[in-house]
């Protein structure tokens, strides 16, 4: 579980409908404007709240950085808005604001700020790379490709930005090499290892590291909610029962502070892992699954529930999806959805041969 070229981490997904083709052409046209440097900065904000009026812009930015470091993006937003209101032609302030909006899943407003940053400083491609990343978050691969190709036209062959764009384009191409990301299902019952239908309601045990006592209740609820989500996605077929004794459980879900193996693999930080074993009497079906969610003082609270949902999908037998709109896509990204997509639902039903 690791980030790809856009630096997102494994285990979660969003459920946004992709935009129309006409919107994609519009976004490409906007990028052409950014590349040429035409246009005017137009976004504005209301007057500052009284409590911010007496603070210097540097103080506002310092406080906003502290809040974003603590994942408090909503609290940082009014500070960043005030900084942009005071210095509307500062592309750095707009870029920082856009990053916070992205983390909140407010993609269109973030794109507005990134476009403004590009117009203000056409020489820098960082905002354009960020917009391409947002398009991938939204499953708008063609729009992302258009942006990356536009970047390549702006820079010298072999330059750092050219190589970065090539890497991004290769990563998108890899999604398609794994199969059609828009096919009705990504599950292959002949390759994956499901449970026997007689195993349901499946027994689930939940354990938390004593050092993480503040997260014990939220983690337990996240696990219960995840199984309920997959139950709903399966049309009510995949039922479960919570048990106290791990020895009675077919699936054990753990929140741990110590990770086995390498924390960084596949280009990013591993957030969770699911290990499965086949049934001793029938090697074609699953006999046991252990879910481990890794947590430390630097973990983003927004990742917990979406990571659990993703790993429980593995515990039930699903593999990875190559569509960023699916829960089972291997890299977590905003807005950290807690609901399986329609494609996730059709895939879990295909795995267990459940008729719609």
DSSP state of 355: -
DSSP state of 17: P
Homologous superfamily assigned to 21-177:
Tetratricopeptide repeat domain (1.25.40.10)
Distance CA 226, CA 246 (A): 18
Q: Rounded to an integer, what is the distance from CA 28 to the centroid of its chain?
A: 24
- Is the bond preceding 335 in cis, omega lying within 30 degrees of 0? yes
Q: In which residue ranges of the chain is pLDDT below 70?
A: 1-48, 264-268
Distance CA 348, CA 327 (A): 12
Domain ranges, ordered by start, for the chain = 21-177, 197-351
pLDDT for residue 337? 87
Contact assessment for residue 210 and residue 203, using Cβ atoms and an 8 Å cutoff: no
Contact assessment for residue 141 and residue 175, using Cβ atoms and an 8 Å cutoff: yes
Distance CA 313, CA 186 (A): 13
pLDDT for residue 179? 83
Q: How many CB atoms are closer than 10 A to CB 237?
A: 16
Contact assessment for residue 181 and residue 141, using Cβ atoms and an 8 Å cutoff: yes
Pick the CATH number of 197-351 from 1.20.81.30, 1.10.3720.10, 3.40.50.10420, 3.40.390.10: 3.40.390.10
At 15, give phi and psi (nearest 5°): -130, 80
Provide Rg for the chain, Cα atoms.
22
Q: CB-based contacts of 59: which residues, under 8 Å, 6+ apart?
A: none
Structural tokens at position 151? 């970047």
Burial classification of residue 65, based on how many CB atoms lie within 10 Å of its CB (0-12 exposed, 13-18 middle, 19 or more buried):
middle
pLDDT for residue 297? 85
Beta bridge partners, 293, equal 255, 272
**Whole-structure pTM value:** 0.80
In terms of Cα–Cα distance, which of 323, 268, 311 is closest to 137? Answer: 323
DSSP state of 332: B
Structural tokens at position 224? 């219960």
Distance CA 209, CA 206 (A): 10
Q: How large is the angle between the packed helices 107-120 and 21-36, nearest 10 degrees?
A: 20
DSSP state of 77: H
DSSP state of 9: B
The structure tokens 């499901």 sit at 194
In terms of Cα–Cα distance, which of 276, 307, 316 is closest to 1? Answer: 307
């Amino acid at each position: 579980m690791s980030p790809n070229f856009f630096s997102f981490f494994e285990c979660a997904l969003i459920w946004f409908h992709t935009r129309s083709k006409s919107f994609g052409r519009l976004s490409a046209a906007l990028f052409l404007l950014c590349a040429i440097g035409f246009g005017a900065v137009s976004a504005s904000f209301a007057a500052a709240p009284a409590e911010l009026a007496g603070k210097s812009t540097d103080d506002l930015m310092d406080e906003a950085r502290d809040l974003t470091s603590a994942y408090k993006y909503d609290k940082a937003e009014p500070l960043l808005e005030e900084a942009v209101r005071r210095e509307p032609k500062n592309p750095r302030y707009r870029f920082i604001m856009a990053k916070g909006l992205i983390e909140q899943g407010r993609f269109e407003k973030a794109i507005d700020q990134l476009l403004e940053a590009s117009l203000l400083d056409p020489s820098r491609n960082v905002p354009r790379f960020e917009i391409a990343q947002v398009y991938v978050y939204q499953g708008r691969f063609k729009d992302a490709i258009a942006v990356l190709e536009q970047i390549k036209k702006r820079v010298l062959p072999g330059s750092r930005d050219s190589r970065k764009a090539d890497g991004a384009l290769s990563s998108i191409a890899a999604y398609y090499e794994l199969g059609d990301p828009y096919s009705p299902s990504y599950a292959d019952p002949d390759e994956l290892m499901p449970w026997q239908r007689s195993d349901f309601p499946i027994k689930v045990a939940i354990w938390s590291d004593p050092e993480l006592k503040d997260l014990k209740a939220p983690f337990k609820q996240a696990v219960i909610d995840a199984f309920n989500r997959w139950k709903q996605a399966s049309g009510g077929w995949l039922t479960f029962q919570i048990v106290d004794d791990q020895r009675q459980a077919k699936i054990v879900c753990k929140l741990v502070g110590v990770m086995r193996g390498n924390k960084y693999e596949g280009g990013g930080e591993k957030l969770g892992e699911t290990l499965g074993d086949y049934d001793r009497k029938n090697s074609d079906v699953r006999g046991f699954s252990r879910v481990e969610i890794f947590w430390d003082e630097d973990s983003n609270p927004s990742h917990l529930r979406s990571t659990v949902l993703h790993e429980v999908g593995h515990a039930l037998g699903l593999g990875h999806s190559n569509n960023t709109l699916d829960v089972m896509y291997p890299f977590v990204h905003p807005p950290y959805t807690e609901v399986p997509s329609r494609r996730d639902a059709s895939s879990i039903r295909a795995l267990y041969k459940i008729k719609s």
